[in-house]
C-alpha cells in the first residue's frame, strides 16, 4: 500500500487556514471539523506551515490567555515534513516517530493534494 491508496479511501480534502488568522480561529476550525491540524498554504498551493493541536497547546503554555489573539504565523510549525503519493506507510511512520510529527502534507508537483495523519498510516498498516 502507498499514500495515494490511503487518499483514495480517505479523500483528498485538505483544511487550510491563513497565516494571518488568529490562533482562536484555527482552534475553532479544528474543533468544528474534528481534526488535529490545518495546513497553512503559501498562496501558491504549497505549504508555509502547519498549525496543530500541539502548537495550540504550546502557545497556551507560553502566552496564557493572550495566545488566542496571536496569529497562526506566530505559532505554526514552519519546518514541515511532506510526503508523496508513492511513499509507503511504514517508511512515513518511522519518520513521524523520529521527528515527533503527527501530520504530513501529501505533495504532487509542488502542490498540496492531501494530508495523512499518523492514525491514517497505522490504520493502513493493519489493513495490508
What would the pLDDT profile of 77-127 be if each residue is shown by its tens digit?
A: 999 999 999 999 999 999 999 999 999 999 999 899 999 999 999 998 887
Record the pTM: 0.90
Alpha-carbon span 63 to 119, nearest angstrom? 30
Domain that holds residue 86: 3-126
| Number of domains comprising the chain | 1
CATH number (domain holding residue 86): 3.10.580.10
Amino acid at each position: 500500500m502507498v499514500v495515494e491508496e490511503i487518499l483514495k479511501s480517505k479523500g483528498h480534502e485538505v483544511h487550510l487556514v491563513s497565516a494571518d488568522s488568529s490562533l482562536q480561529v484555527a482552534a475553532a476550525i479544528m474543533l468544528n471539523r474534528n481534526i488535529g491540524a490545518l495546513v497553512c498554504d503559501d498562496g501558491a498551493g504549497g505549504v508555509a506551515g502547519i498549525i496543530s493541536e500541539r502548537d495550540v497547546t504550546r502557545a497556551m503554555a507560553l502566552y496564557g490567555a493572550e495566545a488566542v489573539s496571536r496569529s497562526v504565523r506566530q505559532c505554526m510549525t514552519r519546518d514541515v515534513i511532506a510526503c508523496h503519493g508513492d511513499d509507503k506507510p511504514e517508511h512515513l511512520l518511522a519518520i513521524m516517530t523520529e521527528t515527533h510529527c503527527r501530520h504530513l502534507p501529501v505533495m504532487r508537483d509542488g502542490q498540496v493534494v492531501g494530508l495523512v495523519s499518523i492514525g491514517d498510516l497505522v490504520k493502513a498498516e493493519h489493513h495490508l
